Structure 1
Amino acid sequence: MTDQTLALDRLGAGEAGQLTFAQRVDYLKRFGVHSQSFSTLQPNMDYFDVPGVGYIAYMRKWGLTFVLSDPVCAPEDFPVMLERFHNRHPDACYIQVSRPVVDVLHQRFGLYGTQFGSESRIDLGGWSLSGKKKQIIRTAVNQAARSGITVRERFSDDHTRQISEAWIRTRKVKSNEIRFLIRPMDMTYRENERHFYAYQNGQAVGFIYFDPIYRNNDIISYVPNISRANADFRQGIFYTLMAHAMSVFQAEGVPYLDLGLIPLSLDQTTEPQEARLLKRILHGLYDRGNFLYNFKGLEFTKSRFRGERFKTYCCHRRGLPALEFLAMLKLTRVV
């Protein structure tokens, strides 16, 4: 009997152990294929740990439980991990999870699985800036070059906080950095982060932090989780930083680049396990909720990279989880 089988047997009996942080990092590097897997190690997370198998990361707000991302374990262990977690937290909501997680939670426990947004992945093997649909990116890169903007990879803190605070003042959400769905800029764990800065006249005017995505201890992709630009240089800096970083990753042989969550970018078709009323409300929020968050602008920007789109979901007990969504907005500091 393998160690993993023994661990699952213990879990089946209702026991869950406690992993060390180093052990969670080990599971991240083996099974962290989700774009939010790295973010599961952000500060103030709680964990449902199963030594020998993996972990589930979550936060609580107003007595409600919110799981972030897929379980960090082998995909074949999703059913037993989710079953035991559900037994302990039957009213939990699951945010930004994949279709295999939706299938387990819907088929076994009757939870709804409603599309929460989309994600996008770029195959760097075939990536280039050529083509009519990437004209906006090329224009931004050329304009940045004419303005004397250069990009360098650095890991030092180069006016990061000043740029970030100025950037936040230009956003819809001005009081705090969003957390949970976007991990904080200052992480205790930062292994294999990549930082790219844009400079003009020797001064940093923007940056992007990329987080690694793992499979079997190899980095298979990066995702831009933190991006900021000086308020005077909003146009084009993101495209310029991204184009430079992608060329670096491509030269290193990294297979993919993930663009992360595109919130409320929804398919018009309603799937059988989705909550129909909630789906209509989310469509309406996308259409009329830009005062809360720049949903349309973010979707437009990420769509310029022409990545392969796929759905991401939230799973919930009630058909209209109004309290749960309000608690999540508070948890993430959107409101």
Structure 2
Amino acid sequence: MTDQVLVLDRYSDVRQGNFSFSERVNYLKEFGRHSQSFSTLQPGMDFFDLEGIGYIGYMRKWGNVFVLSDPVCAAENFDLILTEFHKKFPRANYIQVSKSVADILHRRFGLYGTQFGSETRIDLQKWSLTGKKKQVLRTALNQAEKQGITVKERFSDDHTREISEAWIKTRKCKSNEIRFLIRPMNMNYKENERHFYAYQDGKAVGFIYFDPIYDKNKIVSYVPNISRASADFKQGIFYTLMAHAMEVFKEEGVPFLDLGLIPLMLTKETEPQEAGLLKKLLHLVYEKGNFLYNFKGLEFTKTRFRGEVFKTYCCHSKTLPMLEFLAMFKLTRLI
């Protein structure tokens, strides 16, 4: 009998639960280490709960199940909760999960674990704006200063909807806000969410909403999940807001800042568990699909901060899950 079977046998009495919202929040604060853990509490999510262990957040579209992020539980229980979830949803797709989750799903159930993009984490205690590679940031900050831009943290909205609606009209996807991969701007649950606004001549011209990332009931990082800029003022707003917020978090003693998903920022080599054909297709979408989403622009912006880059994966049962990806694009409102 393998060690893993012994581990699962130890938890054979674990039952699928039906957590209250406050119970899920407790698991989030204990185990919400993933950059999308907070987003698992966005409206429209379904949940798979295991009492005493944690939960998995997912959505459905066209008969497909899409899991968002790593399970919200202790890493040593990933195998257990994923096994129980797989029993109920053997054809589920997993989006933006870590290598450890991809390895479990590949080893135990034969799922492919194909790189979906990259994420970046910045060590705030080592952060500074110095260095040749951060010249773009310094230039943007200098331009913002010349334009009279100031940044303040606010705990109430300031022309948020007005800025957001004008901003959306300038995007590739103009009809709706993206959801699932990016949680909605308005959520009922907002605990420890941080809002920073940029002002010009006393008027709000941009903002970033930061979501907390937890470990053992402490905030260990923030991630900028919602960012908007006035259609009339674009240059330097994001960098200026980010630089200000990072200094605030650094002074508070927050260890890290995560920048979240950089979709389709992929490495060239193909790992053993990846679907080679799908990865080639994703490379092609990155090169030719900017009419769908500004993949290259987002990569350029986030990589200017020079954080530690690591891979994030999607897990799937088919070699080329075309219908599943189409359903996911509809779910996220990209199409």
TM-score by length of 2: 0.97
Count of aligned positions: 329
Shift of 1:7: 9.4
Tell me the CA shift for residue 280 of structure 1.
Answer: 0.2
Query: What RMSD over aligned residues (CA atoms) do the two structures have, in Å?
Result: 1.3
**Is the contact between residue 144 and residue 235 of structure 2 (CA under 8 Å) also seen in structure 1?**
no
Q: CA shift at 1:5, angstroms?
A: 9.4
Give the C-alpha shift of residue 8 in structure 1. Answer: 3.1
Aligned counterpart, 2:226: 226
Q: Is there any run of 5+ residues in structure 1 with no aligned partner, and where?
A: none
Instruction: Tell me by how many angstroms 1:10 deviates.
Output: 2.7
Match of 2:157 in 1: 157
Mind listing any 5+ residue stretches in structure 2 that lack a counterpart?
1-6
Q: What letter matches 1:50 in structure 2?
A: L
Aligned to 2:11: 8
Counterpart of 1:293 in 2: which secondary structure?
Answer: coil
Deviation at 1:175, TM superposition (A): 0.1
Q: Is the contact made by 1:8 and 1:53 (CA closer than 8 Å) also made in structure 2?
A: no
Aligned-pair CA distance for 1:234: 1.3
Deviation at 1:292, TM superposition (A): 0.3
Aligned residue runs from structure 1 range 69-80, under 5 A: 69-80=69-80
Structural mapping, 1:1-335, within 5 Å: 8-11=11-14, 15-335=15-335
Give the CA deviation at 1:93: 0.1
Structure 2 CA distance, aligned partners of 1:93 and 1:212? Answer: 25
Give the counterpart letter for 2:235 in structure 1. Q
How far apart in 2 are the matches of 1:7 and 1:120?
A: 36
Residue deviations 1:34-68 (CA, integer Å, cap 9, x gap):
00000000001000001211000000000100000
Q: Match of 1:9, SS?
A: coil
Identity of aligned residues (%): 72
Deviation at 1:313, TM superposition (A): 0.1
Regions of 4+ moved over 4 Å = 4-7
Contact 1:10 1:16 in 2 (8 A): no
Secondary structure of the residue aligned to 2:142 is: helix
* 2:3 aligned partner: none
Q: Report how far residue 140 of structure 1 moved.
A: 0.7
- Partner of 1:286, secondary structure, is helix
TM-score by length of 1: 0.97
Query: SS of 2:72's equivalent?
Result: coil
Residue 17 of structure 1: CA displacement? 1.2
- What amino acid does structure 2 have at the position aligned with 1:16? Q
Amino acid at match of 1:290: N
How many angstroms does 1:6 deviate by? 10
Q: Secondary structure at the match of 1:299?
A: helix
What is the deviation of 1:268? 0.3
SS in 2 for 1:187: coil
Shift of 1:235: 1.4
